[in-house]
Amino acid sequence: MQLYNTLTKTIDEFVPVDGNIIRMYTCGPTVYHYAHIGNLRSYIEEDVLEKFLRYSGYDVRRVMNITDVGHLTSDADTGDDKMVRSAEREHKTVMQVAKFYTDAFFEDCRKLNIRKPDTVVPATSMIGDLIKIISVLMDKGYAYKAGPNVYFDTSKVQNYYCLTGHDESKLQVGVRDDVEEDTNKRNKADFVLWFTKSKFEDQALKWDSPWGVGYPGWHIECTSIAIKNLGEHLDLHCGGVDNIFPHHTNEIAQSEAYLGHPWCRHWFHVQHLNDKNGKMSKSKGNVLTVSTLEEKGYDPLVYRLFCLQSHYRKPLEFDYGVMDQMANVYKKLLASVAALSDKEAVNEEQKAAWRQKFLDTMGMDLNTASSLTLLYDVLKDPSLNDSTKLAVEEDFDQVLSLDLTKTRGAGGKAQDQVDDELRAYVEARIAERKEAKKAKDFAKADAIREELAGKGIVIKDTRQGTVWEKA
């Protein structure tokens, strides 16, 4: 696969260290609030990448952290401790807040068909391990204690700015007028590995350490979780572009200082989802969530389609007009797939040729937009019988995860398994319910829903109309 690499700033042939195995690390969410659809753009693109690598025959081992402590990114991180503020707002403990928003995150992922990584590790479960790494960094002379905290000495590593190409004079840390510079640091870019005191006096979670009771900085959690679960060499590390500096820059510095050799070969970064006012951001508060989209009647997979029609390396502006177009496109696509008969034999040779086209398209720096075009090209190809078309659409959907067969009947899968009589009956009742709703006879509409539920049929109202499946 050809894939852009932030480290080399070129599209490189992606080659894992260890033959068929891919060790993939993903920076997970901070869990003081709901994930917004910007965060989820990054996770959708990473999901497509992971699934494409699996589809290409690799054995992907994917690990993700959950930032449930220590999200203090730099001196410029203003405001209060976000976990503590959420706990106060919601009358919960910090760990209850973390659990609630971690669960909410994976529920949003489920709705967007984002596969849960093989291993998910909360930062709070790693304190012992990361204390060991900090101790080694101290012993090797890469870390120092100054005032109440332990810092990483960025002057000790060569090429600290390898990901960004920044030079120190352009560094933002400590240069904004409203940011009080941390005078304990030896160099501007140094960052905290362990806090015993920060400007957030009421940090809730604290642990004992050789340097005093305190808590870890943000960056060290990813280093320790990645090394513990994936070993000393990573093939692929992912995140949104805002992670490039300082987070990933610092991860590289401390991981390579600790290991004594290069760490990760390939860095994959997703550009931001913006709104008219700029980057969608949890701390700015200009956020839309999956629930907002559902409340407005969109199937979450329409948002997945919205993301896939653009390239992951281009900023994407959220727009309801485009979402409406996508909803329409999605509806038509589902209808076309639903109309395919699966009675004939699949032509395996033709299927393999289309599979190769898909591999070539996605293999060119994850070109999801062109791979969506392939979905239509297949449907329009007069040389393919219906069953072959269906088999190819299902094949591509292993990666695109748009549930293309979901309106074909029970479970969205084998149409033949659904009794034709039952289908006709359910569809007639759904039509009656629609009429009842139009006439504002909601009691009748609800009664029809309940009657169908009694027969094991679940119906769901979406912007594309009412869909149903067997429970």
Residue 89, φ and ψ in degrees, nearest 5: -60, -40
Q: Of these, 108, 242, 251, 299, which contacts ligand AMP (CB under 6 A)?
A: 242
**DSSP string for 182-202:** -TT-SSTT-EEEEES--S-TT
Q: Of these, 24, 25, 34, 38, which contacts ligand AMP (CB under 6 A)?
A: 38
How many residues line the site for ligand AMP (CB under 6 A)? 18
**In whole angstroms, what separates CA 260 from the centre of its chain?**
30
- Please state the closest distance from residue 245 (CB atom) to ligand AMP, in A: 11
Q: Of these, 16, 24, 25, 30, which contacts ligand AMP (CB under 6 A)?
A: 30
Binding mask 346-385 for Zn ion (x = CB under 5 A): ----------------------------------------
- Please state the closest distance from residue 239 (CB atom) to Zn ion, in A: 6
**8 within 8 A of 20, measured Cβ to Cβ:** no
Binding mask 195-234 for ligand AMP (x = CB under 6 A): ----------------------------------------
Distances 135 to 71, 198, 210, 298, 455 between C-alpha atoms, Å:
21, 20, 8, 50, 62
Tokens of 262: 């290069």
Q: Going by DSSP bridges, is the β-strand pair 59-66/21-26 parallel, antiparallel, or unpaired?
A: parallel
How many residues line the site for Zn ion (CB under 5 A)? 2
CB under 6 A: which stretch of 176-184, 238-246, 380-388, 415-423 binds ligand AMP? 238-246
Q: Which residue type, as a one-letter code, is found at position 12? A: D
- Please state the closest distance from residue 396 (CB atom) to ligand AMP, in A: 24
Q: Of these, 35, 94, 222, 390, which contacts Zn ion (CB under 5 A)?
A: 222
With respect to Zn ion, which residue has the nearer C-beta, 74 or 371?
Answer: 74
Beta-carbon contacts of 462 under 8 Å, excluding residues fewer than 6 positions away, are 297, 298, 299
Q: Would you call 355 exposed, middle or buried from its count of C-beta atoms within 10 A (0-12, 13-18, 19+)?
A: middle
Site residues for Zn ion, window 105-164 (CB under 5 A)? none
With respect to Zn ion, which residue has the nearer C-beta, 26 or 464?
Answer: 26
Tokens of 358: 């898909």
Site residues for ligand AMP, window 247-286 (CB under 6 A)? 270, 272-273, 279-282
- Measured from the Cβ of residue 150, the count of other Cβ atoms closer than 10 Å reads 27
Query: Cα–Cα distance between 166 and 412 in angstroms, integer?
Result: 50
27 binds Zn ion (CB under 5 A): yes
Look up tokens 């797939």; give the residue.
337
**117 within 8 A of 49, measured Cβ to Cβ:** no
Query: Cα–Cα distance between 294 and 276 in angstroms, integer?
Result: 21
- Please state the closest distance from residue 350 (CB atom) to ligand AMP, in A: 38
239 binds ligand AMP (CB under 6 A): yes
264 binds Zn ion (CB under 5 A): no
Binding site for ligand AMP (CB under 6 A): 27, 29-30, 38-39, 41-42, 239-240, 242-243, 270, 272-273, 279-282
Binding site for Zn ion (CB under 5 A): 27, 222
